[in-house]
């Protein structure tokens, strides 16, 4: 007999007054953006940062638009292009879910580059700041996925496996919690530790590189326990879409890290 933990059924709607409803999923996005913004206002007070608290107040709008528009368009293009091509009005129903982290990341990159160009700021520094806050949003987002009972894991007999309402009768990995821990908590701690001292412009891009590699690896590992999207299944050589989209992230992160360490080396030669 296979034992499984009971799934803690939580109403996805936190508060509903008539037709007006506040969902945990929406609250997760709001919490991630607001807490991340406040965290960065504290972070850039440290020596070396060109960014100011006032910059971050304006940057919040660029990041929010990048997350929402990029996340939605990324999901449409990466995961269900045929469905939305046949049902274009469904694109507007963001309250029904359907957001892609990789699409949101591309949207944020475009937004921060535009912000840096308009404000005469270093794009790599803006990116280094933003990535320090991203794990906060990832953590809350994955918790919201768990509350919604979506993006659940593959069947398993581990002691903490759960039977998800939309996952059939078999107990499964609570992979949303794995991702909250890896992509959210662990990545946040790592970046906070690396950003603990003064910011060094010659190392611009290092925090961004660590984030891209760290997220790509964490997501690829979590995908080993996560049930692939039903309409996609396994793709190239048994990889999932999440793993395939993470490969360019890891490659880009390694390039940024190599550039950062090369810049540190040139700076050291100049000092001596």
pLDDT at 33 exceeding the cut of 60: yes
In a domain, 41, yes or no: yes
Q: Is residue 67 part of a domain?
A: yes
Domain of residue 116 covers 22-271
Instruction: Extract long-range pairs of 231-239: CB within 8 Å, 24+ residues apart.
Output: 231/79, 231/80, 231/83, 232/79
Domain assignment present for residue 97? The answer is: yes
- Tell me the angle at which helices 187-194 and 123-148 cross, rounded to the nearest 10 degrees: 160
Q: Look over the chain and give the mean of its residue pLDDT values, rounded to a whole number.
A: 89
Using the predicted structure, report yes or no on whether residue 13 has a pLDDT greater than 90. no
> How high is the pLDDT of residue 270?
39
Q: Of 208-217, 219-228, 233-242, 252-261, which range is least confident?
A: 233-242
pLDDT tens column, 36-54 = 999 999 999 999 999 999 9
* Largest pairwise CA distance in the chain: 69
The contacts of residue 61 (CB under 8 Å, 6+ apart) are none
pLDDT over 50 at 269, yes or no? no
| Helix 123-148 vs helix 206-222: crossing angle, to nearest 10 | 20
**Arithmetic mean of pLDDT, 229-251:** 87
Question: Which of 71-75, 135-139, 183-187 is predicted with the least confidence, judged by mean pLDDT?
Answer: 71-75
pLDDT, position 230: 75
- pLDDT tens per residue across span 144-173: 999 989 899 999 999 999 999 888 889 999
pTM for this one?
Answer: 0.88
First-last CA distance in the chain: 69
The whole-number pLDDT of residue 265 equals 54
In a domain, 8, yes or no: no
Provide the pLDDT confidence category of residue 97 given band limits of 50, 70 and 90: low
Distance between CA atoms of residues 236 and 234, nearest Å: 7
- 14 in any annotated domain: no
* 15-19, 38-42, 184-188, 255-259: least confidently modelled range: 15-19
pLDDT for 198 beyond 80: yes
In whole angstroms, give the CA distance from residue 208 to residue 204. 8
How many domains does the structure of the chain reveal? 1
- Please tell me which residue, 101 or 216, carries the higher pLDDT value: 216
Question: How many whole angstroms separate alpha carbon 24 and alpha carbon 47?
Answer: 37
- Higher pLDDT, residue 185 or 201: 185
Any residues with CB less than 8 A from the CB of 69 and at least 6 apart, and which? Answer: 107
The reply to whether 181 falls in a domain is yes
Q: Specify the pLDDT at position 208.
A: 97
Residue 85 lies in a domain: yes
Long-range own/partner contacts, residues 10-16 (CB < 8 A, 24 or more apart): 10/147, 12/147, 12/148
Assess if residue 120 is contained within a domain.
Answer: yes
pLDDT at 267 over 60: no
């Amino acid at each position: 007999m296979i034992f499984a933990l009971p799934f803690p059924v939580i109403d996805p709607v936190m508060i509903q007054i008539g037709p007006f409803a506040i969902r945990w999923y929406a609250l997760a996005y709001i919490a991630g953006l607001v807490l991340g913004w406040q965290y960065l206002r504290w972070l850039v007070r440290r020596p070396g940062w060109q960014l100011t608290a006032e910059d971050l107040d304006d940057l919040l709008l660029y990041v929010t638009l990048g997350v929402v528009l990029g996340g939605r368009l990324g999901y449409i293009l990466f995961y269900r292009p045929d469905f939305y091509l046949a049902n274009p009005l469904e694109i507007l129903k963001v309250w029904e879910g359907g957001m892609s982290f990789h699409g949101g990341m591309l949207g944020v990159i475009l937004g921060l580059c535009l912000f840096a160009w308009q404000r005469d700021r270093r794009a790599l520094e803006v990116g280094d700041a933003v990535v320090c806050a991203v794990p906060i949003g990832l953590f809350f987002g994955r918790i919201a996925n768990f509350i919604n009972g979506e993006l659940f894991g593959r069947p398993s007999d581990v002691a903490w496996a759960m039977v998800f309402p939309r996952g059939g009768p078999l107990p499964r990995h609570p992979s949303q919690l794995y991702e909250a821990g890896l992509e959210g908590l662990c990545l946040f701690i790592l970046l906070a530790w690396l950003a603990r001292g003064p910011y060094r412009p010659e190392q611009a891009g290092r925090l961004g590189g660590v984030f891209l590699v760290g997220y790509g690896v964490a997501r690829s590992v979590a995908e080993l326990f996560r049930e692939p999207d039903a309409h996609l299944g396994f793709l190239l050589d048994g990889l999932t879409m999440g793993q395939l989209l993470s490969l360019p992230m890891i490659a880009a992160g390694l390039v940024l890290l190599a550039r950062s360490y090369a810049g540190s080396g040139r700076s050291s030669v100049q000092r001596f």
